């Protein structure tokens, strides 16, 4: 199975729960589990190839210009994390089916879970760092949804926001670091980056890239000082905690450290930053976990501690430490997922997670007791369980550092001591002791569906501990080989003789037992001791940032549009002036062209109309006329400068906008009141004049100079017919060269029309509707609502206009025209029918749904673009050919016509839907209450009577 398909399968599975949940909770869970199982089997099929040292690769070009390619590969490290993500994910899906209550939306839960699973698989199988970043941010978003799944709980909402804030900020830093790393290596493909160690570490940008990448990894893996978000994420349902915070999400940061280990490790900067951070996190998390009363909080801080342990091992920079880190990733996933699910069982069956309210569960919940005890002893590092093996390897590596770093051995031993203490506390304070009579619910073991998953993991804990090389050695070797880029051969045994690591381990176990015995006085001292609270610091910093941002915003803008525009304009002017005077524009090379009378008269008319607009803009109807004059003269300039397409477009747009604005202004006061002082208006006039003069000067300077770069217009002119099959360069640009832009524009045009329709719906309800019913015109109206000559003229012109629109549409690929202009021409013809005969008459004679017209246009354009894929071409690439039809000359047919048809439909639909919206307001306001639509299909006598 292709690595790309394995990464894609969870996303496909995310579609199923929501669709199948009505068939039952079990059906939704089965669909999610089946998809995960198929992906897992597809991954496992590659084990023989990976063990032979091969890499399974799938490469697809996505955005090659920015080197963002959909490249996936499976090596030993990807195989390890893929097995953890999919294997434990399968157990969590089964566990969640029985854990969640009937009030919980199972379809939504499994959808979020599968989205997260897909994002994690994307991270571990990506062979392009830009693609990895996409999946990295998707894990933050999907984990936000999972942590806040119980959104009715304030703690859940707060935990989700905190996790998203911390990991999102780290992700932003990591994006910058990854971009620097790719620039140093000359490629964004991970397989190429891993071959560039010398260039990366010799670069002066190595340290900035390292720090930025480590911030992203540390925030995701809850390393100090970002450790505080993980415990607060425990407000999520226990299946989420077991999956995200023991086996997957928090290990994404560890995966990143391991994946980039070959090129970033081995330097003093790597050692001191990574190893020290891991050591502090390991000790801090273990100490806090010892004194937590909530079971999940204890496990959360223990997770923080073990993540620090793995980070420290990777920070040592040796191949033996990397092998130990990989092995502990496997072990931690097995015993910690089992412990989280055990905590969920206890909470589910007893109604509480408070250790102070538990105890005596050994006989009441014997199966849960056995599973929890095995997993907790492994977490403590007690032989012969798997946690003991990787803990011994960690202590061994710490003890073999040089003398300047021996502090690591001491602190690691203290952290291991605390680890034993909280692990024993999980066993003895929860399961041993006398039975109580004040449990919130009567404790008992759950059904098989809930304990089967953690039981399987507990069995693996034992088997890996007893037979480490058989059960996990092959996977450790494969993944460690991928990390170190050298063939790794692990030798994992229960007994290595009496050495420093064994002595440190004995000290840790004895000290942990002593901590358990003296826990009560130690807890009192802990509670009484003053200490900083990370969450309080975070909340304080967040509040300070919000206040500072709000204060700055209030000072910069108070919601006034003129103030905001003034600031923007002045900033643009400053930036433009700075760029001009610090750049090298060169000397004037082009002579002035002679000023001809006709263009000069047009320029005077534009300037006069613009000046009148400034002085008379409060008279809205006059302002609209002046704007139209400016637009029409601009279209004449386009025609003068040999741009007929632009001229046709400008004229059509002006006609449509003037008509629609006239209808809209009908419901507004005819004059705008003066709201600003003369001094403020003077200041605005000064800024506007300065901006206009500056822009004019820039245009003048550019047109008088030749620059080193060649304009893109040359490429368009040379390849318009060759690549697009059309002589009309403007149309070919719109439907081919920049077809994606046009596709976005018609989509936005349709959305704008739908937004107008939605706003109209709001106006036609409630207080707005009552005001419209009571609205009276502020000026006298003409008595002749539908002049007969206008009615007749528009009816005669309608078919002619439609023919003209079709003609313009068909000729657009080689002559001035196209779908946009044709759509405007047809829209104008229809607009005239509404204006001449009234909305009621026109609406009864056309039944085309404008919403569907917009949708059909977008679909037509999109389908045309997708068709290029079947010819192995990029989206929206046109194809064309010449055909001989009977009784006709040879004609050219191009797929761009389908795209142009989509543009045409969108334009007509958007304009008419906007008119429809305004007309509905007019009808509600009483415009058509007494209207008698004029129908010219009358007898001669009736027509005389009408006249």
Give the model confidence (pLDDT) of 851-863 as tens digits: 888 999 999 988 8
Q: How confident is the model at residue 932 (pLDDT cuts 50, 70, 90)?
A: very low
In-domain check, residue 195: yes
Does any domain span residue 936?
Answer: yes
Domain-located, residue 566: no
My answer on whether 100 and 136 are in the same domain is yes
Pick the more confident residue, 346 or 715: 346
Q: Are residues 485 and 432 in the same domain?
A: yes
Band (pLDDT 50/70/90 cuts) for residue 5 is very high
What is the reported pLDDT for 258?
A: 93
Task: Encode burial over 190-205: b for 16+ CB neighbours within 10 A, e otherwise.
Answer: beebbebbeebbebee
At residue 933, the pLDDT reads 42
In a domain, 644, yes or no: no
Q: How far apart are CA 180 and CA 205, in angstroms?
A: 7
- 241 with 275, same domain: the answer is no
CA distances from 423 to 77, 326, 481 (A): 29, 22, 32
Backbone angles phi, psi at 79, to 5 degrees: -65, -45
In this prediction, residue 621 carries a pLDDT of 84
User: In the chain, what percentage of residues exceed pLDDT 70?
Assistant: 94
Looking at residues 183-207, what average pLDDT do you find?
Answer: 90
Angular region, 817: left φ>0, alpha ψ -120 to 50, beta rest: left
Question: For residue 772, is pLDDT > 70?
Answer: no
From residue 362, give the alpha-carbon distance in Å to each of 295, 379, 429, 437, 439.
16, 19, 11, 15, 14
700-704, 778-782, 922-926: which is most confident: 700-704
Look up the domain containing 837 and give its range: 729-776+784-947
* φ, ψ of residue 56 in degrees (nearest 5): -95, 120
Same domain, 288 and 233: no
| Spatial distance between the Cα atoms of 320 and 484, rounded to a whole number of angstroms | 10
User: Which spans in 432-471 are helix H?
Assistant: 448-466, 468
937 pLDDT band, cuts 50/70/90, is very low
Spell out the residues 6+ positions from residue 625 whose beta carbon is closer than 8 angstroms to its own.
Answer: none
**pLDDT grade for 923, boundaries at 50, 70 and 90:** low
Indicate if the pLDDT at residue 462 is higher than 60.
yes
Could you tell me the CA-to-CA distances from 140 to 209, 236, 384, 415, 718 in Å, in that order?
Answer: 21, 14, 37, 29, 47
Which residues have C-beta within 8 Å of that of residue 220, sequence separation ≥ 6? 136, 139, 167, 170, 171, 249, 250, 252, 253, 256
Average pLDDT over residues 464-482: 90
Domain boundary among 522, 551, 576: 522
As a 3-state breakdown, the chain gives helix, strand, coil percent values, each rounded to 5, of 75, 5, 25
For 330, other C-beta atoms within 10 Å of its C-beta total: 21
The three-class DSSP label of residue 793 is: helix
* Higher local confidence (pLDDT), 779 or 641: 641
For the residues 306-334, what does the mean pLDDT come to? Answer: 92
Q: Is the pLDDT of residue 458 over 90?
A: yes
CA atoms within 13 A on the CB side of 625: 8
pLDDT on residue 785:
67
What would the pLDDT profile of 210-226 be if each residue is shown by its tens digit?
Answer: 999 999 999 998 898 88
pLDDT score of 926 = 55
Of the candidate ranges 82-91, 113-122, 893-902, 916-925, the one whose mean pLDDT is the lowest: 916-925
Among candidate residues 488, 522, 556, the one where a domain is terminated: 522
Predicted TM-score of the model (pTM): 0.72
931 pLDDT band, cuts 50/70/90, is: very low
DSSP class per residue in 484-513: HSS-------S---S-HHHHHHHHHHHHHH
Better-predicted residue by pLDDT, 397 or 780: 397
Look at residue 930 in the predicted model and tell me its pLDDT. 40
Inside any domain, residue 706? no
123 has a pLDDT exceeding 90: yes
Answer yes or no: do 376 and 467 share one domain. yes
Model confidence at 409, in pLDDT bands (50, 70, 90)?
confident
Say which range, 175-184, 189-198, 551-560, 720-729, has the weakest mean pLDDT: 551-560
Asked if the structure places residue 253 within a domain, the reply is yes
Mean pLDDT computed over 472-495: 86
pLDDT in tens, 486-501: 888 888 877 777 788 8
Burial 227-265 (b: 16+ CB within 10 A, else e): bbbbbbbbbbbbbbbbbbbbbbbbbbbbbbbbbbbbbbb
DSSP letter for each residue of 652-712: HHHHHHHHHHHHHHTTS-SBPPP-S-HHHHHHHHHHHHHHHHHHHHHHHHHHT---SSPPT
Residue 724 to residue 355: CA distance in whole angstroms: 73
Per-residue pLDDT, 269 = 92
Statement to judge: residues 246 and 272 lie in one domain: no
The per-residue pLDDT for 774 is 65
Q: What is the pLDDT of residues 803-836, one digit of tens each?
A: 999 999 888 888 888 888 999 999 888 888 877 8
- Comparison of pLDDT for 850 and 311, the residue scoring more: 311
Answer yes or no: are the C-beta atoms of 145 and 14 closer than 8 Å.
Answer: no
Residues 231 and 292 in one domain: no
- Residue 502 shares a structural domain with residue 388: yes
Q: Is residue 684 part of a domain?
A: no
* 795 and 836 belong to one structural domain: yes
Residues 176, 306 within the same domain: no
What string of H, E and C letters represents the secondary structure of 807-841? Answer: HHHHHCCCCCCCHHHHHHHHHHHHHHHHHHHCHHH
Looking at residues 584-610, what average pLDDT do you find?
A: 86
Are 575 and 564 a contacting pair, CB within 8 Å?
no
Q: How far apart are CA 377 and CA 20, in angstroms?
A: 41
**pLDDT value of position 44:** 93
Kindly indicate the confidence band of residue 940, based on its pLDDT and cuts at 50, 70 and 90. very low
Total domains in the fold of the chain: 3
Please give the C-alpha separations between residue 700 and each of 575, 597, 610, 694, in angstroms, as whole numbers: 18, 20, 20, 10
Q: Is the model's pLDDT at 425 over the cut of 70? A: yes
Q: Which of 495, 522, 549 is the last residue of a domain?
A: 522
Could you tell me the pLDDT band of residue 947, with boundaries at 50, 70 and 90?
very low
Distances, alpha carbon 260 to alpha carbons 81, 191, 193, 215, 317, in Å: 15, 10, 9, 14, 12
Token duo for residue 223 = 């390393």
Q: Are 353 and 443 in contact (CB under 8 A)?
A: no
Cβ-in-10-Å burial (0-12, 13-18, 19+) of 425 comes to: buried
Measured in whole angstroms, how far is the alpha carbon of residue 504 from the centre of its chain? 47
CA distances from 793 to 833, 906, 946 (A): 10, 27, 17
C-alpha span between 36 and 86 (Å, rounded): 6
**Region 857-882: what's the mean pLDDT?**
84
pLDDT at residue 775 in the model: 62
Whole-number average pLDDT of the chain: 85
Question: Which H or E element spans position 145?
Answer: helix 129-147
CA nearest neighbour of 601 among 635, 637, 576: 637
Q: Where are the alpha helices (DSSP H) in 725-776?
A: 729-732, 739-763, 766-773
* Mean pLDDT of the 60-85 span: 87
**pLDDT, position 74:** 92
More confident residue, 947 or 729: 729
Cβ-in-10-Å burial (0-12, 13-18, 19+) of 419 comes to: buried
What is the helix (H) or strand (E) element at residue 38, kind and residue range? Answer: helix 25-44
Residues 6 and 39: beta-carbon distance below 8 Å: yes
Alpha-carbon span 775 to 505, nearest angstrom? 87
Query: In this predicted model, what pLDDT tens digit does every residue of 892-909 receive, in sequence order?
Result: 778 888 888 999 999 999
Place 935 in a pLDDT band, splitting at 50, 70 and 90. Answer: very low
Greater confidence (705 vs 320) lies with 320
> Could you give the CA distance from residue 621 to residue 503 in angstroms, rounded to a whole number?
93
Continuous segment of H or E residues that includes residue 477: helix 474-484
Q: Indicate if 214 and 283 belong to the same structural domain.
A: no
Q: Which two tokens stand for residue 448?
A: 């098989």
Nearest 10 degrees: Cα torsion 263, 266, 271, 274: 20
Specify if 614 maps to a domain. no
Buried b (16+ CB within 10 A) or exposed e, 530-562: eeeebeeebeeeeeeeeeeeeeeeeeeeeeeee
Indicate whether 476 pLDDT > 70: yes
DSSP 8-state assignment for residue 74: E
Distance of CA 753 to the CA centre of its chain: 26
Torsion of the alpha carbons at 521, 524, 530 and 534, rounded to the nearest 10: 110
Segment 743-761 shows an average pLDDT of 87
State the pLDDT confidence band at 929, using cuts at 50, 70 and 90: very low
Interval 634-649: pLDDT, tens: 999 888 888 888 898 8
Q: What is the mean pLDDT of residues 564-573?
A: 86
Which backbone phi and psi does 337 adopt, to 5 degrees? -60, -40
Give me the pLDDT at residue 674, please: 67
Residues 70 and 92 in one domain: yes
Taking the alpha carbons of 124, 125, 127, 131 in that order, is the dihedral positive or negative? Answer: negative
């Amino acid at each position: 199975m292709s690595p790309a398909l394995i990464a894609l399968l969870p996303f496909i599975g995310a579609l199923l729960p929501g669709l199948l949940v009505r068939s039952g909770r079990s059906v939704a869970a089965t669909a999610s589990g089946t998809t995960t199982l198929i992906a897992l089997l597809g991954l496992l099929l590659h084990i023989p190839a990976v063990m032979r040292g091969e890499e399974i690769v799938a490469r697809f070009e996505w955005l090659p210009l920015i080197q963002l390619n959909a490249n996936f590969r499976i090596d030993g490290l990807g195989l390890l994390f893929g097995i953890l993500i999919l294997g434990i994910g399968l157990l969590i899906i089964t566990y969640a089916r029985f854990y969640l209550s009937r009030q919980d939306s199972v379809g939504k839960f499994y959808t979020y879970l599968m989205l997260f699973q897909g994002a994690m698989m994307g991270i571990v199988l990506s062979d392009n760092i830009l693609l990895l970043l996409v999946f990295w941010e998707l894990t933050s978003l999907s984990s936000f949804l999972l942590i806040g799944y119980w959104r009715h709980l304030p703690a859940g909402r707060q935990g989700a926001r905190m996790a998203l804030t911390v990991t999102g900020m780290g992700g932003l830093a990591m994006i910058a670091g990854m971009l620097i790393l790719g620039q140093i290596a000359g490629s964004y493909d991970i397989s190429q980056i891993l071959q560039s160690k010398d260039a990366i570490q010799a670069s002066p940008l190595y340290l900035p890239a390292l720090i930025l990448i480590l911030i992203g990894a540390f925030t995701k893996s809850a390393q100090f000082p970002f450790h505080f978000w993980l415990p607060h994420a425990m407000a999520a349902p226990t299946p989420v905690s077991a999956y995200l915070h023991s086996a997957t999400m928090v290990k994404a940061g560890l995966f990143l450290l391991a994946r980039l280990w070959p090129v970033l490790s081995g330097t003093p900067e790597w050692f001191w930053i990574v190893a020290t951070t891991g050591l502090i996190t390991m000790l801090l998390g273990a100490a806090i976990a010892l004194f937590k009363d909530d079971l999940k909080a204890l496990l959360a801080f223990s997770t923080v501690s073990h993540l620090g342990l793995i980070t420290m091992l990777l920070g040592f920079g040796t191949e033996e430490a990397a092998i130990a880190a990989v092995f502990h990733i496997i072990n931690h996933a097995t015993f910690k997922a089992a412990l989280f699910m055990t905590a969920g069982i206890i909470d589910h069956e007893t109604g509480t997670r408070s250790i102070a309210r538990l105890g005596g569960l050994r006989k009441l919940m014997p199966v849960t007791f056995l599973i929890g005890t095995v997993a907790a002893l492994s977490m403590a590092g007690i032989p012969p369980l798997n946690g003991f093996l990787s803990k011994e390897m960690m202590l061994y590596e710490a003890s073999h550092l040089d003398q300047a770093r021996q502090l690591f051995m001491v602190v690691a031993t203290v952290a291991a001591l605390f680890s034993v203490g909280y692990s024993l506390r999980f066993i003895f304070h929860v399961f041993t002791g006398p039975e109580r009579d004040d449990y919130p619910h009567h404790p008992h073991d759950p059904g098989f569906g809930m304990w089967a998953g953690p039981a399987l993991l507990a069995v693996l804990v034992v088997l890996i501990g007893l037979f480490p090389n058989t059960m996990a050695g092959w996977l450790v070797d494969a993944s460690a080989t991928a990390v170190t880029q050298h063939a790794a051969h692990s030798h994992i045994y229960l007994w290595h003789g009496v050495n420093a690591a064994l002595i440190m381990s004995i000290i840790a176990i004895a000290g942990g037992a002593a901590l358990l015995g003296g826990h009560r006085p130690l807890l009192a001292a802990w509670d009484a001791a003053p200490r900083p609270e990370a969450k309080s610091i975070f909340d304080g910093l967040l509040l300070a940032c919000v206040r500072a941002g709000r204060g700055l915003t209030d000072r910069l803008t108070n919601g006034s549009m003129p103030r905001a525009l003034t600031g923007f304009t002045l900033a643009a002017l400053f930036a433009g002036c700075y760029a001009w005077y610090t750049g090298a524009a060169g000397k004037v090379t082009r002579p002035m062209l002679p000023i001809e009378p006709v263009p000069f008269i047009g320029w005077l008319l534009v300037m006069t109309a613009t000046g009148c607009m400034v002085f008379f803009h409060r008279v809205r109807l006059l302002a609209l006329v002046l704007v139209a004059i400016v637009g029409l003269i601009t279209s004449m300039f386009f025609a003068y400068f040999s741009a007929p397409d632009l001229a046709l477009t400008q004229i059509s747009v002006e006609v449509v906008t003037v008509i629609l604005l006239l209808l809209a202004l009908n419901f507004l006061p005819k004059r705008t009141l003066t709201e600003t002082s003369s001094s403020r208006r003077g200041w605005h006039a000064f800024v506007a004049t300065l901006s206009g003069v500056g822009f004019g000067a820039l245009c003048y300077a550019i047109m008088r100079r030749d620059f080193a770069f060649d304009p893109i217009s040359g490429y368009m002119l040379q390849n318009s017919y060759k690549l697009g099959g059309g002589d009309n360069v403007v149309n070919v640009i719109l439907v081919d060269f920049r077809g994606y832009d046009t596709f976005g524009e018609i989509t936005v045009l349709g959305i704008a029309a739908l937004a107008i329709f939605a706003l109209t719906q709001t106006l036609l309800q409630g207080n707005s509707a009552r005001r419209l019913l009571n609205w009276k015109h502020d000026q006298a109206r003409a008595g002749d609502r539908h002049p007969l000559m206008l009615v007749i003229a528009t009816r005669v012109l309608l078919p002619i206009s439609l023919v003209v629109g079709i003609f313009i549409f068909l000729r657009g690929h080689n002559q001035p025209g196209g779908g946009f202009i044709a759509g405007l021409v047809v829209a104008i013809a229809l607009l005239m029918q509404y204006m001449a005969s009234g909305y009621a008459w026109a609406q009864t004679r056309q039944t085309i749904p404008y919403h569907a017209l917009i949708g059909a246009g977008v679909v037509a354009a999109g389908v045309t673009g997708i068709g290029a894929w079947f010819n192995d071409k990029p989206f929206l690439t046109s194809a064309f050919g010449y055909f001989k039809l009977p009784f006709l000359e040879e004609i050219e047919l191009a797929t761009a016509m389908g795209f142009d048809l989509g543009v045409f439909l969108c334009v007509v639909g958007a304009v008419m839907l906007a008119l429809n919206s305004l007309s509905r307001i007019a009808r509600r306001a009483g415009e058509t209450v007494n209207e008698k639509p004029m129908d010219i299909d009358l007898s001669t006598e009736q027509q005389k009577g009408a006249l």
